[in-house]
């Protein structure tokens, strides 16, 4: 489940490099024309993918873990939460909080990437290379966390993602230099990749697939709100304090609180009748 979202996530970090090269070597109009073509491709491919999607794999004799040998371990019935039931669970709000912070802080850091790197004494060309490094780390972290999600509950992996995000905000707030900037890129890429895998599998694992669309629709509100709200405190910090230090420290504290809160959240149990189909589940 983590692979489809990984390509979109990695493109977020490669697009600025492509645009920068296009603007520097040709012109802004040509670079943005290429971006427009890329958007057209997305608008034509996504509807096709949506139109060809057909129900559950089990309906066609397929498995959700296609290609893997049948398991010999004990099976448990897949959970079936409605949206209202999911909203009453702590794990839903934990996943939403982690997604909100990742989108808010990540978007703000990306939008202010060159400004933050300039403050750390990093040249523009080197800052572009750090985006490539960040994208590579994100891909590795997505695959690695996806491997862990198959063996551990997503709520147990949230502290790792939040620790990486807290580290990404603390490093530029308290230090500078090339080594610190590299660690910053590693931390942010790790946070993005791990959170992407946790989000991809967490909601389905905890709440089942019966009402997953409604549950994910509710969670998307927090992700979108985070991306929209995140850059505002960074702009205010620069205007009022003259640097990013204050907002970076605040973001670091929020990530620590979210990661610590994961240890207090319990696995949810639904009172609704479960689905008839079964799948492998992680133990509480």
The pLDDT value given to residue 281:
43
The pLDDT value given to residue 90:
92
Domain ranges of the chain: 80-269
The pLDDT value given to residue 282:
43
Q: Which CATH number does 80-269 carry? A: 1.20.1250.20
DSSP notation for the chain:
-HHHHHHHHHHHHHHHHHHHHHHHHT-HHHHHHHHHHHHHHHHHHHHHHHHH--S-GGGGT--TTTTSPPP-S--EEPP---HHHHHTSHHHHHHHHHHHHHHHHHHHHHHTHHHHHHHTT--HHHHHHHHHHHHHHHHHHHHHHHHHHTTS-HHHHHHHHHHHHHHHHHHHHH--SHHHHHHHHHHHHHHHHHHHHHHHHHHHHHH-STTHHHHHHHHHHHHHHHHHHTHHHHHHHHHHHSSSHHHHHHHHHHHHHHHHHGGGPPPP---SPPPSSEE-----
The pLDDT value given to residue 273:
44
pTM: 0.74
Query: If the chain, 284 residues long, is cut into consecutive pieces of 10 residues, what is the mean pLDDT of each piece?
Result: 48 55 57 64 69 62 58 65 90 95 93 89 86 89 89 92 95 88 93 91 88 90 92 92 92 96 87 45 42
The pLDDT value given to residue 23:
57
């Amino acid at each position: 489940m983590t692979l489809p979202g990984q390509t979109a996530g990695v493109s977020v970090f490669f697009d600025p490099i492509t645009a920068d090269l296009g603007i520097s070597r040709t012109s802004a109009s040509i670079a943005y024309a290429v971006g427009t073509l890329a958007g057209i491709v997305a608008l034509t491919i996504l509807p096709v993918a949506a139109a060809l999607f057909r129900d559950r794999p089990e309906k066609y004799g397929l498995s959700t873990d296609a290609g893997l040998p049948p398991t010999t371990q004990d099976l448990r019935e897949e959970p079936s939460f409605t949206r209202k039931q999911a909203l009453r669970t702590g794990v839903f709000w934990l996943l939403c909080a982690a997604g909100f912070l990742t989108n808010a802080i990540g978007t703000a850091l990306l939008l202010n990437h060159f400004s933050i790197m300039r403050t750390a004494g990093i040249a523009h060309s080197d800052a572009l290379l750090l985006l490539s490094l960040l994208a590579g780390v994100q891909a590795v972290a997505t695959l690695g966390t996806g491997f862990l999600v198959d063996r551990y509950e997503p709520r147990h992996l949230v502290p790792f993602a939040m620790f990486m995000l807290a580290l990404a905000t603390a490093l530029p707030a308290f230090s500078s230099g090339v080594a610190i900037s590299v660690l910053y890129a590693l931390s942010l890429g790790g946070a993005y990749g791990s959170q992407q895998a946790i989000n991809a599998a967490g909601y389905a694992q905890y709440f089942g697939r019966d009402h997953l669309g409604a549950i994910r629709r509710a969670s998307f509100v927090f992700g979108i709100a985070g991306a929209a709200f995140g850059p505002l405190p960074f702009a205010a910090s620069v205007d009022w304090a003259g640097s990013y230090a204050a907002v970076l420290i605040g973001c670091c504290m929020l990530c620590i609180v979210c990661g610590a809160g994961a240890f207090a959240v319990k696995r949810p149990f639904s009172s609704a009748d479960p689905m008839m189909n079964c799948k492998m589940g992680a133990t509480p």
